[in-house]
Amino acid sequence: MKDMLGRQQAIAAETALKMLLDGLPVKLPRLKTLPVEEAPGRICAAEVVSIEDLPAFSRSTVDGYAVKAADTFGATETMPAYLNISKEVFMGEYPSFILKKGDASKIPTGGMLPEGADAVVMFEYVQSVDEQVIEVLRPVAPGENVIQAGEDVKKGERIIYRGQRMRPQDIGACAGIGVTEIRVYERPAVAIISTGDEIVPAGTCPDKGQVRDINSYVLAGMIAASGCEPRRRGIFRDDYGVIRSVIESSLEDSDAIILSGGTSVGTKDMIARIIDDMGSPGVLFHGVSLKPGKPMIGGIIRGIPVFGLPGHPAAVSVCFEIFIEPVLKKLTGLVEKFPWQGRTIVKARLSRNISSSQGREEHVRVMLEERADGLWAVPVLGKSGLITTLVKADGTIVIPLNINGIEQGEMVDVRLF
Amino acid sequence: MKDMLGRQQAIAAETALKMLLDGLPVKLPRLKTLPVEEAPGRICAAEVVSIEDLPAFSRSTVDGYAVKAADTFGATETMPAYLNISKEVFMGEYPSFILKKGDASKIPTGGMLPEGADAVVMFEYVQSVDEQVIEVLRPVAPGENVIQAGEDVKKGERIIYRGQRMRPQDIGACAGIGVTEIRVYERPAVAIISTGDEIVPAGTCPDKGQVRDINSYVLAGMIAASGCEPRRRGIFRDDYGVIRSVIESSLEDSDAIILSGGTSVGTKDMIARIIDDMGSPGVLFHGVSLKPGKPMIGGIIRGIPVFGLPGHPAAVSVCFEIFIEPVLKKLTGLVEKFPWQGRTIVKARLSRNISSSQGREEHVRVMLEERADGLWAVPVLGKSGLITTLVKADGTIVIPLNINGIEQGEMVDVRLF
């Protein structure tokens, strides 16, 4: 999107994200088989269908006596039903007898109902007459206090859908039907390329004029939290050939590429040129109506999304949340039930006026303070180039494109980190 | 808490949790040193204090000219300030000259200000006169477009507190000040002991009357999500000696012990007896005013928390959230800024009436449905013994102790899984 002078125009964040998502080819990640206990948090690559009933037999849900419900109809405390004590059911054992009319069979919670029984009377509604006979003081309906065979899962029922993120209970359900291995998607590999002639590795002592790499660490943490595998490729000189060559090698073994660091106009333009030169469609957008994060570049080379991030840590964090996280989620194969799931949002009142330019979506870092009169969101002052503004903040609030600002005392949604 | 007949009385969940938390000895987990890039999500065991300023020098935040601000005072488009072009500042290099009065030095974003300069004029407010001279069309204030030395982090400043959970930006801040290794707490080890004569391993084909282990898988996933290390010890017979002996060996290498499975009254009583027999204070509570989850046992043996969970999967999930998660969080060394952080809560309207007994806190599993008129919470019907009620649900709603129920259409808080 260029203006009459051929300059890229800033577009709305929403439009930019849509261009990226629409431009990505539909392809699913590679598959991998995992023991089910190693699968929490992974994305299921093939639906799980049960080949059996769970439970396989009718079970009691209480400690009591298995009976024929009809034998208890009309029973009261003054007119109890008298039943003969038959064989006992033991936990985990098959009751190899048939319960006859007028009989009652002691059964533990979880025990298998003997053939002929269709309900269980709880101990507390039973009185012992002698060693052979009990009184039942209340009627039970057929099926009462019983989990029927197949009531949890029916044979042929799908319990996990393709694209589902496995929660602890989903793992438990697989175990329950004897599925001890499942197919999951491999985690997409995301290359992090740090650029900038002033950037040195965190482990070195910078000379005057140099600063340590921060962004590749922030990005690696966010990539992992999005269910992908970060691969820090190193720090590269702001040079066309050098950067093109590391993008080239990253395209071979990565599912997405993030460039971060070079903050100057010249470097950004060079990165945009490299992306355009390397393949169609190349750059999709360069410049977004977003603060912080305006100089963001989004593009696609040979079906692989490539992001050029502004160098300021706060911009990296905002651009990641808005553009990269949704794209990475798509790459993981995740099928989200609700697109709004993800960050925790809390309501708080804003501690001071914030102004914002119309026509720009602004993300403001805030700290939360619990005061006597409730929760307050206190904007963290400081330039977006300061990593500690992110460290001090608990989350962000968003001032939409068409709003001039928010007044002190207004209720805002704080998106927690 | 026993009644006149010596029976344990059910107590409120809140009271029970407080007994547990108050009864635990104050002790911190073992320490471990990790490369900072492996620390996302870990709990920091020693505060991180910077031994240097970040940045170590004043940097430009824009592309432009480094100047003495005073030389631009009063400059306008019609009355610009004329400055002599001095040496250029290059990215990542130390400018080994002193900027003199009346001079301007080209500087990139992130470049180090030369000595003598105190502000940067952006390119867009500069016009070139010839190769030696520029016009500055707007004044800049001292410090404008500059990040001062130490503005991000000051030497001696604490950037990470003890007990903080490391987020991506916290890792980035450590990298920025050259801290490439940090001390974290070891993840507490949590033993999972499955009991029940009817329970067989998930990988086996159960005989009639037997069911596969589900709960140890659900628990392992929830324990890992709480920042601890689950250790599934296996399935054990409902036998005093057998269970006491596996608790005994678990006490030696675990920070918490969870027993799950034996659902019958007899087994529960036996587990309570074992906990009491093994050390003081033993059982703290046995029976909670909670549905599902009433038969829950909480105790402490030799300073180690021991939980006896009801066998129903839904009860396991609720009891974990209410009792075990807060205890495990304490064991991890986490110092939470806000105790309410954790689960995502969304507002939805209840799709049908739910009744509840007064004097009992009830947790109801719900599915979320996005309808034309907003989000609805649909209770998942089915007994708490069915694992699939948890699989179908997106979260739970809580009906407090003193409420009889919630009416259709009322707005409820859904705590997402």
* The CATH number of the domain covering residues in A59-147: 2.170.190.11
Q: Is B63 within 8 Å of A90 when comparing Cβ atoms?
A: no
Tokens of B265: 């009254």
8 Å CB contact of B264 and A220: no
What is the distance between the alpha carbons of residues B322 and B361, in angstroms, rounded to a whole number? 11
C-alpha angle B57-B62-B67 in degrees, rounded to nearest 5: 70
Longest dimension (CA), chain B: 101
Contact indicator for A368, A414 with CB cutoff of 8 Å: yes
Tokens of A254: 């990565």
Residue-level pLDDT at A203: 95
Predicted pLDDT at A311? 86
Q: Which residues of B touch A345 (CB under 8 A)?
A: 344
Which has the minimum average pLDDT: A234-243, A384-393, B208-217, B265-274? B265-274
List of residues 6+ apart from B121 with CB closer than 8 A = B64, B65, B67, B72, B104, B136, B138, B140, B145
Q: Is the pLDDT of residue B358 over 90?
A: no
B217–A92: do the CB atoms touch at under 8 Å?
Answer: no
CA distance A195 to B94: 19
* Chain A touched by B294 (CB under 8 Å): no
**Both ends of chain B: CA-CA distance in Å?**
32
Query: Chain A residue closest to B164 (CA)?
Result: A391
Residue-wise pLDDT for B42-62, tens only, equals 999 999 999 999 999 999 999
Residue-level pLDDT at A96? 95
B159/B269: higher pLDDT: B159
Q: Which residue of B has its CA nearest to A95?
A: B209
Among B197, B203, B220, beta carbon nearest to A92? B197
Angle between helices A325-332 and A13-23 (to 10 degrees): 20
Residues 6+ apart with CB under 8 A from A365: A314, A379, A380, A389, A390, A392, A393, A395, A396
Reference B115, options B54, B68, B52; nearest CA is B68
Whether B198 and A263 lie within 8 Å, measured CB to CB: no
State whether residue B24 sits within 8 Å of chain A by CB.
Answer: no
| pTM over 0.80, yes/no | yes
Are B212 and A177 within 8 A, CB to CB? Answer: yes
Two structure tokens written together for B138: 């707007």
Residues 192-251 in B contacting A (C-alpha not used; CB under 8 Å): 196-199, 202-215, 217-222, 224-225, 232, 238
A159–B219 CB contact, under 8 Å: no
Q: Where are the domains of chain A?
A: 13-28+187-332, 32-54+154-185, 59-147, 345-416
Chain A partners of B386 at a C-beta cutoff of 8 Å?
A: 147, 151-152
- A176/B218 CB distance under 8 A: no
* CA atoms of B134 and B140, how far apart (whole Å): 15
Per-10-residue mean pLDDT of chain A, 417 residues long, equals 57 95 93 97 97 96 95 96 97 95 95 97 96 97 96 96 96 97 98 94 95 96 97 94 97 97 70 94 94 93 96 92 95 88 86 90 94 95 89 94 92 93
Look over chain B and give the mean of its residue pLDDT values, rounded to a whole number: 93
Q: How many CB atoms lie within 10 A of CB B155?
A: 14
Residues in chain A: 417
Would the pLDDT of B332 be above 80?
A: yes
Query: Per CATH, the architecture of A13-28+187-332 is what?
Result: 3-Layer(aba) Sandwich (3.40)
Q: Which CATH number fits domain A32-54+154-185: 1.10.1040.10, 3.40.50.300, 3.40.50.410, 3.90.105.10?
A: 3.90.105.10
Using left for φ > 0, alpha for ψ between -120 and 50, and beta otherwise, residue A151 falls in: alpha
Q: Is B175 helix (H, G, I), strand (E, B) or coil?
A: helix
pLDDT band per the 50, 70, 90 thresholds, residue B6: low
Q: How far apart are CA B47 and CA A160, in angstroms?
A: 43
The CATH classification number of B35-51+158-185 equals 3.90.105.10
pLDDT of res. A385: 86
CATH no. of B13-29+187-332: 3.40.980.10
The residue behind tokens 């170590």 is B56
Fold match between A13-28+187-332 and A345-416?
A: no
| Cβ contact, residue pair A383, B151, below 8 Å | yes
- The fraction of chain B above a pLDDT of 90, given in percent, is 85
Which A positions 164-183 lie with beta carbon below 8 A of chain B? 167-180
pLDDT at B3 over 80: no
**Burial class, B385, CB count within 10 angstroms (exposed 0-12 / middle 13-18 / buried 19+):** buried
Nearest 5°: phi and psi at A221? -65, -40
In the CATH scheme, what is the homologous superfamily, with its name and number, of domain A345-416? MoeA, C-terminal, domain IV (2.40.340.10)
- Residue A5: is it exposed, middle or buried by C-beta count within 10 angstroms (0-12/13-18/19+)? exposed
Task: Provide, for chain B, the percentages of residues in helix, strand and coil under a 3-state DSSP scheme, each rounded to the nearest 5.
Answer: 25, 35, 45
Burial class (CB in 10 A: 0-12, 13-18, 19+), B142: exposed
